[in-house]
Structure 1
Amino acid sequence: MTNLPYLSASQYNQSTALRNERSFQAAAAELTSGGIADGYSEVKNVQQFVGQELMLNFVESYKGSAVLNKERMGFVSTQVATMRDIAVELQRQVSQLRSSPLAKPEELSTWCNDKLDQLTSILNGRFDGKYPMSGDASNVPSTKDLRSLPNMGLTDPVDSNLYYLGSTANIKFRADDNTIVETNVRGDNLGVAELIFALRLCITLPAAEKDDRLKRANDLALQAHEDLVVVNGQLDTNIKTLDGVQDSLLQLEQKLTENIKEIGYRTQSEVLNDYVQSKTQVELTRYVTTSLLNSLKDLIQQMPA
């Protein structure tokens, strides 16, 4: 009788795993990259598995973009809030100069120049290396140096073309398959232009025009504040829309992940572990069966004719 070598279950499993590790990893890599692994029986429905994987990749991409876009809109919202504060303070400064004999025009002029510098910095502020106040031309600055603009006449119209360098189209992005969100704040928005021109009116205050300039500057600052409130409200609405989309994407991601777990595997270690367990059970059965057949064959050969 032939003496067959004996392997314990753990030794046999280890041997099988080492022998087939490369093929298992190749199959796993093919599955998790969206390919089809021929002969890999543990995936219940390869087509469905690949489809769910692709959908999950799209969802994860949307989620990543949503985080960045929400941060960008939050950045812009903060900038708009700062401009609103400047508009309110300008009204206070103008009111003080008009009502107090102790207030000096030179002080208001200096303050307005400082605020024009601040607005230049705000409008040309960068987020993620881009200029979000430039519309969809986010690779270029939004404005010229506002302080370097020529002196403003009393009756000069409010015209953003004097300083604006960006695009007149809003930044738009796809939040999911069905939702497009846009950032509706640009450097040429009416409220922004009104604030800039209100400040410019107060840079020079000749005696003959002082009262008229202050009155128009106050009116423009008031209108700028109102228009910026409207713009910021629209921006907040878009942020809330994006919040809702993010919640939906999270729910869809969880559902897809559950589906994938039911029909396949996502990591090489999971594939290797389950594949080894299933295959070793089959091969051990074959080993035992073959051993028994060989033993019976030897026994029959030893029986007398």
Structure 2
Amino acid sequence: MRPRPIRSPARALALAAVTALAPLMVSVPAAADSVIIGGAPVSITGNPWVVAVSSRSLFGAARAGQFCGGVVVAPDRVVTAAHCMNEDALGVSPAELADLKVVAGRTKLQAEGGHEIEVSKVYVNPTYDGYTREGDLAVLTLARALPAENVIKVAGPGDPVYEPGTAASVYGWGDTTGYGTYASSLRAAPVQVLPDEACEKAYPGGSAGKYRSATMLCAGGPRGGRDACQGDSGGPLVAKGTLIGLVSWGNGCGKSDSPGVYTRISAFVQQATAGR
């Protein structure tokens, strides 16, 4: 049985990184490379907790090295997807990336301003399963703290923001056409939290993947067409000003019968905020 498609890091600009990322992308249609399906540009000013995870040595300087998304949960902590920090995806271990950074406070990746902050420590959830995608969470400790206003509230167990039908938004940068046409600015797409029953029906197991409600949630448009996708891994799913999920995996992008699956952040509050 093939591993189910994940929301892969952005396509590498260096040959070694392209080779490393290729196995994660072969089972995803070309159209799935759009980072935000059905979205529109937004400003970082109103969403200061969204950051880009960056390595120029692997992904080139043109987009400030962006390859995944992340979100600020404490002045010196950013959460992202565990699969963004996977050695199989990057070609090296995170510890070997001397230029691993987060880019904060910047709507356009190529603009000046904002903050580029080195990552001093990478914590990958030890229960993360690279095959099932369960526990898809990593925490990046920053070498210096961001302003307190950059921090977003994190949902805890039982938070009503997880109720089906709750309006939410997913954020990211990336390819908007499937042919290497990357967005120059941060984008967001409106989605809604879907019932666990709908997610279980969409992903009952087998080649489609298996949805596990204890550690995952799914969201999308009622008729599809709104979703996160390749290059947006680790980016935030936000409802009512609260972080509820991280972009993780899915079957294609924007399909009405295959909604996006996110790491349920409430299942990992202690790891997310403590980074250990």
Coarse TM-score class (shorter-chain normalised)? under 0.3
- Structure with the higher fraction of residues in helix conformation: 1
Q: Which has the larger radius of gyration?
A: 1
